[in-house]
Amino acid sequence: MFKSGEELRQQRMSLLLRGGFVVTQDAQRRVIKGDVLVEGGKITAVGNVSDEAGEVIDCTDCAVIPGLIDTHNHVANTLMRGLADDVPLEKMLEKTFAVDAHFTRRDVQAGALLGCIEMMKNGVTSFVDLFYWEDEVARAARESGIRAFLAWVILDQEFTTQKGSPLKNAEAFIKKVKGEERITPMAGLQGVYVCSEETYRATREMADREGVMMHTHLSETRPEVYNHQKKHGLRPVEWLEKIGFLSDRLLAAHCVWVTLNEVRVLARQGVKVSHCPVSNMKLASGGYAPLPEMFQENVAVSLGTDSPVSNNGLDMFSDMKVCSLMHKASRWDASVMPARKVFDLCTVDAARCLGRSDLGSIEIGKTADLAVIDLKQPHATPFYLDNVLSHLVYSCRGSDVKVTIIGGDVVVRDHRVTSVDEADAVERAQKATAEILEEI
């Protein structure tokens, strides 16, 4: 009944998305009423399309958008959703570490698959993950058909629960999956609080050697920054520049507690940023990532949900709205973070952060990662050409996603996942968590 991601790719046919509001995200940011033709996993026509296709999807009263890109996640932690609410980061970590210590490979795969399903149903076609056992996350991604950028986490030996060397584990994973169509390996680092200078240098050397991007947490909380400054005499961004770690192939999550000087350092080194407003607010980390200053300095910024523990949901529509409102409120300026820019963070800017010029917009030649949003809902009515983009940020919800297409494959149709048995995945995840909780 259900076809795996690989089976979908083998049976790929041409698609015609007919008569929608197409949010192109091209250089002019055009929103047009028209069609999108997909052939061989690529977008081959946009506008009034007369060509025939193997399948026609009626997009009347729908928005057709580039697939959303979540640039920071720990997707296997869906199994810990709701286990550490209403506590600060330090308390959350205590609770999650106790559960995480009992995770098996089976648990990681079950949690990751559940998260992949949730993301695809919410119009997310690509995500960045930072975790160990990324080979199990890769299994879940392949099964579901989602596009995954997977960073095996590296930290000092004294702090890890991984068997063997985290650096060697990450390198082996990178070598194993490099070159896959939808799995892109990355080198991950937990953060300055558990990674020495030697670990940062060795990771950078390995990433350079293998030609992969790096992903890390950076300046997420005030204690992280102040404790590091007390120990090394420099703030984390300054210290990482001094030791030669920063690179234009680094995607840094959070960057909340950074100064204007550090923003300029990030810009100078070409570092990309994943902004995680919902997670940071829920954990009461304090402060706000200085996005307007980052934009002014031309730092590439994207949007991440972060872990299902510190966000609870993987709905990028919800996070877009919070992102915009948070910055408006903190700056006392309603013009800050307009809908257009926030939507950029999940599409074209996210693609820029990942070095993937083939993603993030609906243009001829681009990879066909798309989502169809049903606008004929009470909370999105009235809708018309001029307000569709605002609706996507301020009114729509992940549950409004009707169709999700990844690489030309329909992985969600009429709100239902086509590649895996959702009910079975939910049951497996529920059982896995119940068994873990019995052990702790």
| Residue 187 near residue 222, CB atoms below 8 Å | no
Final residue belonging to a domain, choices 353, 375, 409? 353
Please report the pLDDT score of residue 224 as a whole number. 96
Q: Given this model, what pLDDT does residue 240 score? A: 98
Q: Are residues 73 and 55 part of one domain?
A: no
* Neighbour-count burial for 344-366, b at 16+ CB within 10 Å, e otherwise: bbbbbbbbbbbebeebbbbeeeb
Angle at alpha carbon of residue 249, lines to 245 and 250, rounded to 5°: 60
CA pseudo-torsion sign 424, 428, 429, 431: positive
The answer to whether residues 120 and 412 touch, using CB atoms and an 8 Å cutoff, is yes
For the entire predicted model, the pTM comes to 0.96
Q: Which two tokens stand for residue 266?
A: 């990030």
Mark whether 25 and 139 lie in a shared domain. no
Q: Is there a single domain that holds both residue 93 and residue 189?
A: yes
- For 194, the domain range is 69-353
Query: Which residues of the chain fall below pLDDT 50?
Result: none
For residue 31, what is the enclosing H or E element?
strand 31-39
pLDDT in tens, 58-107: 999 999 999 999 999 999 999 999 999 998 888 888 888 888 888 999 99
Q: Are 74 and 129 in contact (CB under 8 A)?
A: yes
- pLDDT tens, position by position, 344-357: 999 999 999 999 99
133/275 same-domain check: yes
Residues 267 and 393 in one domain: no
Report in angstroms the alpha-carbon separations of 216 from 72, 120, 240, 295, 365. Answer: 9, 24, 12, 20, 31
What is the reported pLDDT for 11?
61
> What's the confidence (pLDDT) of residue 5?
54
CATH of the domain at 179: 3.20.20.140
In this structure, the answer to whether residues 349 and 366 fall within a common structural domain is no
CB 70 within 8 A of CB 124: yes
CB 252 within 8 A of CB 278: no
Q: Quick: pLDDT tens for 223-254.
A: 999 999 999 999 999 999 999 999 999 999 99
* Residue 431: per-residue pLDDT: 96
Strands 62-66 and 15-23: parallel
The domain total for the chain is: 2
The answer to whether the CB of 359 falls within 8 A of the CB of 366 is yes
Determine the pLDDT at residue 93: 84
Residues near 333 by beta carbon (within 8 Å), at least 6 away in sequence: none
pLDDT for the residue 1: 55
pLDDT of residue 143: 97
Q: How far is CA 84 from the centre of its chain?
A: 21
Residue with tokens 């650096």: 167
CB atoms within 10 A of CB 412: 24
